[in-house]
């Protein structure tokens, strides 16, 4: 599921992530109600986020950015009802064609939501540990979403959206069984937003790319009022008893990790994603969505990992694609550009899947640094 996100992006970053503009000039963008947007490290349903949608009938042809409330309130909701944004803040992508509340939105009300990352809580019995999931290179995640509008008794029009979910990627299964639908490349984005045919099935799948990474964060992020860079600061987890024991009796911990690769076991790595990344196969394309950032790749996707095959007609649509890098090239992490956060700025450690192995190779690291 996906019930909490970080979105401190600027409007032009959202536009860019969703493939709307080529430059930083957002002034020409059709933007609606953007004054309601409050960038936040801790966004939950009920809050407004910038949404990219196709222009409504009668407007300019180009897509537009529209600030909408997270948590779908269907247009048929009684005018006297109190809108409940927590009832439908997610939509199961597997069943959107059957569910009456969502099916009617599919032809014309598909949209995109761009965020820096999302939070997921790992349940351990009665304990809950939140993790922050994001792209390693800090480019925004683009979620597939659906929107609707509803008029209340006062005649005010409320725009709301719901984020599509799918089963979890292999890499994140240890954490959860559901994840948001991440449109990992320009083709997916274009198909979800612009394809007039109902041929979007192929993009509604788990994002399996190895560049989706995570780490544990403070449980304080559970409080909606806790909104500051500390939300995304990595914390050191206390090792559990069995982890300690297994470390004592395992001479080569990395080898033990490798043995889990491809298996059904959960990576015993709630400590950090880096631990698990040693399990992924070098050079193996695990994803159907992930697009290798190669400059000269011209084709839609290599067949080796293009998974759910696109029909011939659909490749036509993919032909519109531009290089993904083109729209992500100048994303930079900009945690500092919001000046008035009450908490101290997060000092995100440089950490990649490359050096990941080193970090967990040491037995000492399991006792925390002193």
Partner DNA sequence: CCAGACGTTGTT
Partner DNA sequence: GTCTGG
Nearer to DNA, 151 or 355 (CB): 151
> Greatest CA span in the chain, whole angstroms?
69
Q: Smallest Cα–Cα separation from 224: which of 344, 85, 67?
A: 85
Nearer to DNA, 125 or 313 (CB): 125
Nearer to DNA, 96 or 232 (CB): 96
Convert residues 57-96 into a mask of x (bound to DNA by CB under 7 A) and - (unbound).
-----------------xxx---------xxx-xxx--xx
Stretch that binds DNA, among 120-128, 242-250, 301-309, 333-341 (CB under 7 A): 120-128
Q: How many residues bind DNA (CB under 7 A)?
A: 35
- Least distance between DNA and beta carbon 310 (Å): 25
Convert residues 178-207 into a mask of x (bound to DNA by CB under 7 A) and - (unbound).
x-----------------------------
Q: Smallest Cα–Cα separation from 83: which of 183, 182, 195, 159?
A: 159
Nearer to DNA, 80 or 312 (CB): 80
The CA dihedral of 256, 290, 26, 298, to the nearest 10 degrees, is: 140
Does 99 participate in binding DNA (rule CB under 7 A)?
yes
Convert residues 319-348 into a mask of x (bound to DNA by CB under 7 A) and - (unbound).
------------------------------
By CB under 7 A, the residues from 150 to 179 that bind DNA are 165, 176-178
- Least distance between DNA and beta carbon 223 (Å): 5
- Least distance between DNA and beta carbon 45 (Å): 7
Does 36 participate in binding DNA (rule CB under 7 A)?
no
- Least distance between DNA and beta carbon 124 (Å): 8
- Least distance between DNA and beta carbon 44 (Å): 6
Q: Smallest Cα–Cα separation from 341: which of 98, 38, 72, 51?
A: 38
Q: Smallest Cα–Cα separation from 118: which of 197, 38, 172?
A: 172
- Least distance between DNA and beta carbon 155 (Å): 16
Nearer to DNA, 171 or 318 (CB): 171
Does 104 participate in binding DNA (rule CB under 7 A)?
yes
Beta bridge partners of 143: 113, 182
Q: Of the candidates 123, 322, 334, 354, which one interacts with DNA according to CB under 7 A?
A: 123
Stretch that binds DNA, among 24-32, 49-57, 99-107, 323-331 (CB under 7 A): 99-107
Nearer to DNA, 64 or 73 (CB): 73
Q: Of the candidates 12, 44, 174, 211, which one interacts with DNA according to CB under 7 A?
A: 44
97, HSE (Cβ side, Cα atoms, 13 Å): 6
Q: Which residues of this protein are in contact with DNA, per CB under 7 A?
A: 1, 3-4, 44-46, 74-76, 86-88, 90-92, 95-96, 99-102, 104, 121, 123, 125-126, 128, 165, 176-178, 219, 222-224
């Amino acid at each position: 599921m996906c019930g909490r996100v970080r979105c401190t992006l600027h409007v032009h970053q959202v536009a860019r992530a969703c493939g709307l503009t080529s430059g930083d000039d957002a002034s020409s963008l059709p933007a609606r109600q953007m004054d309601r947007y409050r960038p936040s490290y801790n966004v939950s349903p009920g809050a407004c986020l910038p949404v990219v949608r196709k222009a409504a009938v009668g407007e300019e042809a180009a897509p537009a950015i529209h600030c909408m409330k997270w948590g779908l309130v269907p247009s048929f909701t009684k005018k006297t009802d109190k809108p409940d944004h927590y009832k439908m803040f997610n939509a199961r992508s597997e069943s959107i064609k059957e569910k009456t509340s969502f099916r009617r939105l599919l032809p014309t009300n598909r949209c995109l939501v761009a965020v820096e990352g999302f939070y997921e809580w790992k349940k351990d019995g009665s304990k809950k540990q939140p993790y922050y999931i994001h792209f390693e290179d800090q480019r925004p995640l683009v979620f597939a979403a659906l929107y609707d509008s509803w008029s209340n008794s006062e005649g005010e029009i409320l725009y709301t959206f719901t984020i599509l979910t799918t089963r979890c990627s292999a890499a994140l299964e240890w954490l959860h069984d559901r994840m948001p639908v991440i449109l990992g490349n320009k083709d997916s984005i274009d198909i979800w937003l612009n394809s007039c045919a109902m041929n979007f099935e192929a993009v509604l799948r788990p994002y399996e790319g190895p560049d989706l990474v995570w780490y544990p964060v403070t449980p304080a992020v559970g409080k909606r009022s806790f909104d500051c860079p500390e939300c995304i600061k990595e914390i050191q987890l206390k090792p559990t008893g069995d982890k300690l024991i297994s470390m004592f009796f395992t001479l080569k911990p990395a080898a033990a990790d490798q043995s889990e690769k491809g298996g059904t076991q959960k990576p015993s790595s709630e400590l950090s994603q880096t631990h698990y990344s040693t399990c992924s196969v070098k050079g193996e394309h695990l994803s159907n969505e992930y697009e290798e950032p190669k400059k000269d790749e011209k084709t839609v996707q290599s067949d080796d990992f293009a998974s759910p095959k696109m029909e011939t007609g659909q490749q036509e649509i993919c032909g519109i694609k531009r290089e993904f890098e083109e729209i992500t090239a100048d994303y930079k992490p900009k945690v500092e550009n919001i000046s008035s956060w009450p908490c101290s700025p997060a000092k995100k450690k440089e950490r990649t899947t490359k050096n990941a192995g080193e970090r967990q190779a040491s037995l000492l690291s399991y006792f925390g640094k002193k």
